[in-house]
Structure 1
């Protein structure tokens, strides 16, 4: 498997690395000496199945389904899966947390949690962000560089019966090292190993001295299996009752994930999203500027079965936080906080739609959308960009509408019991420029163990039958996003990057929304982006595309700026954009017309 060699030698070497970096406690030699031997880690039945290498998993007769595994505080989340299905492991989420009334960094996590024995030598805080203006604030500190985060590790997935006996051939998965990208070796395109401390009730973004609520957590996120890893399949036997998840960094404590196999499942696996205009176009197939156009969403499974009745979406309280029997999902960050790059953004599961155009004018949107726009009961769809202000038109809507989602959270809880609709209206401005406009819907479905994104984009013509195209100033993303990590599979499963800017505008409560901010931030911190960060030409195609400078453009990548900038523009207050709404204002044209070493 990827040229890794014999499994026994591999696992023996990993056990040695574990001992060297801490095991149960880096100072506890007695506990280190009692770590399970390799054969105990594997178990007798796994050893017997390891006789032939590589493992001879049978070729499935139907496409394998992406399976998501979840563990919290050492306990596996029970799985319900469709009987007779062949799976590959596409996602592993492991979280461990403890709470405290005092600010002790990650001390309690290291001492008390099931991640405590992994080896935390070298851990350090790398970023901090606070949310909640005007207060009280929630502050999150992000930690990396612990020994366990920098060690190569593997997972073995075994299916077992009610007595714990193995019922099929195990799967070996290479978790790799977070900061290395080794196509063909590692098995997941996305890897996140983190320590996080969350403090609530803080008086200011930096002052949590009066807070008595601290959560310390460690998370491991593996997502989007590479193509070669998708070929490692798991066909559940009828007698299988659980999946045993073994991690080479915790060899003596495998996780147990209960499994129930559903014989007569109502729905199929897979996810299809459809959107169509209900308002008829003019005789020539175009819409006139100023027209209000109604659209309708249809969500289906892979076999085409509807996931909701036509014209209806269920109340928020019937969906969040865990979805419906059909796999329908709504925004759930009220229950499981997300943070771009650092924490569980894939679990946000926003159902959303946008329009943006004309295509030839598409560009990043820098106008901030106020929270009040989400709470106004008279406004279902938010205008996020106008031709006069932003050079492009865009409007978006969350589903359910934002005044239901956020109004129910902050104003009237009864709104979460209101039935919702699968239709909405986008109104073109009277001065809408002629061309092609993109209408996109995106969401996520979780159904019987499968957790996958979906999106679709349609085009409508406004004012002209002539199709126009976007002029992208960055690319090609496929240099890295390939072999299972392509844009058609990660994020929102949409490879049409022109369709991103509308939804990804800066929100008052999420200023890091724009794609240029997220791209800079993620690639500058992942350590898996191969090119030098100062070499803008790795992604930017034109010199002009790097000259629209602002706090957000610069400080989404850089972590500091000169003292004279601090004196003139203020200290850095946001790890994402540098400051507040002013972060999107363009710096003077007399400065920053080029970037040293940019290649442009």
Structure 2
């Protein structure tokens, strides 16, 4: 847990009244209960032992996380298309164009494979939700992965998710997703992925091949957003009765574009999170184009090709700035920082009702400024690879690739001692947080070319925070999150900065949940996964993951579903004491939370409630205040206090 001895905090407040320092320090070791280690991350800068490599393919083409397809140029690559899907199009599965992206790696740098994503997706090809035979037939016989062993494939879930509309642009909508699993290729435990770099002739090897096994990766499950074999019906109204599989289109509202149902059939294979970053390879320098080849042991005759370009440090443009303000080439890693304007009272804390400024200082892992102009680049610049690798969310990442991690954002919330999960996101929170409409560092429409004024705009790095007049005293947190893809390295980082409101005496989190470090240690610490937020700040996750929309899932639902569905989570899954440190924190069951582990909880008895996101009752309602008020659910081990 976070220590209550705040000596460093007091010194910081006295010596740095501008509050530009991190006011809470964490000194715990990895093997203590409660929180655990704050830092174990040797892979965040150019001085790292190795750099994490991310490789992605979509419908036969290598792609960058920005959504750009990678051109094969003059390479002779059998099976690699001349045209690739246009991931910025409304239907990227049918719109194709000449690819313009380039996948660059740094020569002489050691890499380890941290992400491998291989996707094959068709849109609006299988529209019969009552009979998915054709969808399954496409997976087995027509998809890029048709030569895998599909024996024993079966349906494992049929779930509905809700997304809140954007006023004036889209409506509230539901998505039905049917997932399939247990095919024999999915249950293989000893398959391998061989990585090698070969010359542009497609034959001559330029490095010793490195072999990765599936166990070298932390995650590959659908519930973590990774490997998914399924069918989706998107942008519809909720079903009207149990067993209703007929699509109910959204009504066409005046002044808003029509949103017809969309049908997506996908086979997405993704391994992510290296458990062995010491299994590395060095990229040699090869003038001109080269090929990175990945061979999966289950498809030995169908390798996956990634056209690459090897660059040297001398060949990089000086697009960052060093401590002296001189132009230099950027390094690996990303480190977003916040600086604060000085409190008006000069006492080291802000008063309730006061307004102050946050100043974003974006650095790479070497401490170089990535935004020398003091503004965030436009969505257009990001897509054109002119943003020093910074990533924004795109239509492709959210809706085509089904990735939700690339949205840069900040959140201000507090006081820490009131950061408690609420059952109903429509209810008033016990703590204050910044307006949900203003948490994005970049507008959600920034990368949509349909909005040219937004698409080509740069974005401020100064943000105003208006504390409420009734702000409770204590320590507040400002979280800043960003993601970057630079020379093959994909990395996310969230930093936490603390400030005082109404008093100099610091406060701390409720300490209601924790123990993540029991599993997330060393290279698998939370600093290295997902948003790059350290284990000490898990109770701050709820400040963003508190919506009624499943596009940004609620933290209690997400955590239960992700861990209880994972074969790598070996703890007793009915033992709530592993993560819940207090009994009260485990006594807010709801339809939404319980269904994350028990999809058929209560069957269809509360059908209407399951599809009610707003009003009363709804799927977030606290069952402990009604039926489960007198006794807890059976079969769960709860904390004693």
Alpha-carbon separation, structure 2, partners of 1:422 and 1:457:
17
| The 10-residue stretch of structure 1 (430-439 or 512-521) with the greater mean CA deviation from structure 2 | 512-521
Q: Residues 580 and 252 (structure 1 numbering): CA distance in 2 closer, same or farther, change over 3 Å?
A: farther
Cα displacement (A) at 1:560: 1.8
- Please name the residue that 1:425 is paired with: 464
SS in 2 for 1:289: coil
Task: Quote the offset at 1:588 in angstroms.
Answer: 5.0
One of 547, 567, 576 as aligned partner of 1:506 = 547
- Once the two structures are TM-superposed, the CA of residue 162 in structure 1 deviates from its matched residue by 1.8
For 1:446 and 1:124, locate their aligned partners in 2 and report how far apart those are by CA, in whole Å. 36
Gap change, CA 1:115 and 1:501, over 3 Å in 2? same
Aligned counterpart for 1:66 among listed residues 30, 52, 63:
52
Q: What is the CA deviation profile of residues 329-380 of structure 1, one whole-angstrom value per residue up to 9, with x for unaligned ones?
A: 1122x223369xxx753x64111001121111111245547xxxxxxxxxxx
Provide the residue aligned with 1:582 in structure 2.
618
8 A contact 2:380–2:447 mirrored in 1: no
Q: Is residue 383 of structure 2 the alignment partner of residue 336 of structure 1?
A: no
Alignment of 1:48-447 (within 5 A): 63-77=49-63, 78=70, 79-99=103-123, 100=125, 102-103=127-128, 104-125=134-155, 126-131=157-162, 138-152=175-189, 153-163=191-201, 164-175=203-214, 186-192=215-221, 193-200=227-234, 202=236, 205=239, 206-208=245-247, 214-226=263-275, 229-239=276-286, 241-263=290-312, 264-266=315-317, 267-280=330-343, 282-320=345-383, 324-332=386-394, 334-337=395-398, 344-345=402-403, 348-366=405-423, 368=425, 389-395=428-434, 401=440, 404-406=443-445, 414-447=453-486
Distance 1:411 1:75, change over 3 A: closer
Deviations 1:521-549 (A, max 9, x none): 21222233223333222221222222123
Q: 8 Å contact 2:238–2:611 — kept in the other structure?
A: no
Is the CA contact (8 Å cut-off) linking 1:534 and 1:596 kept in structure 2?
A: no
Indicate the structure with greater helix content: 1
The number of residue pairs the alignment matches comes to: 500
Equivalent pair of 1:353/1:439 in contact (CA under 8 Å): yes
Quickly say closer, same or farther: Cα 1:118–1:539, change in 2 above 3 A: same
Matched-pair contact (CA < 8 Å) for 1:352–1:398: no
TM-score, normalisation: structure 2: 0.71
SS of the equivalent of 1:530 reads: coil
Compared with structure 1, are the counterparts of its residues 142 and 249 closer, same or farther at alpha carbon in structure 2 (3 Å cutoff)? same
Partner of 1:559: 599
Q: Distance in 1 between matches of 2:366 and 2:54?
A: 20
1:524 alignment counterpart: 564
Deviations 1:18-71 (A, max 9, x none): xxxxxxxxxxxxxxxxxxxxxxxxxxxxxxxxxxxxxxxxxx996211111112
Following superposition, the deviation at residue 431 of structure 1 comes to 1.5
Separation in 1, partners of 2:577, 2:617: 28
Structure-1 separation of matches of 2:601 and 2:615: 12
Superposed displacement of residue 150, structure 1: 1.0
Q: Deviations over 1:550-591 (max 9, x none)?
A: 22332232212225xx445636449xx899982223235353
Higher relative contact order (CA 8 A, sep 6+): 2
Q: CA RMSD in A?
A: 3.2
Q: 1:555 to 1:285 in 2, by over 3 A?
A: same
Structure 1 position 599, deviation (Å): 2.0
Shift of the 407–75 alpha-carbon distance from structure 1 to 2, 3 Å rule, reads closer
How much has 1:283 moved relative to structure 2?
Answer: 1.9
Aligned to 1:178: none
* Structure 2 segments unaligned to the other structure (5+ residues): 1-45, 64-69, 71-102, 129-133, 165-170, 222-226, 240-244, 250-259, 318-329
3-state SS in 2 of match to 1:500? helix
Do the aligned partners of residues 552 and 293 (structure 1) sit closer, same or farther apart at CA in structure 2, a change above 3 Å counting? farther
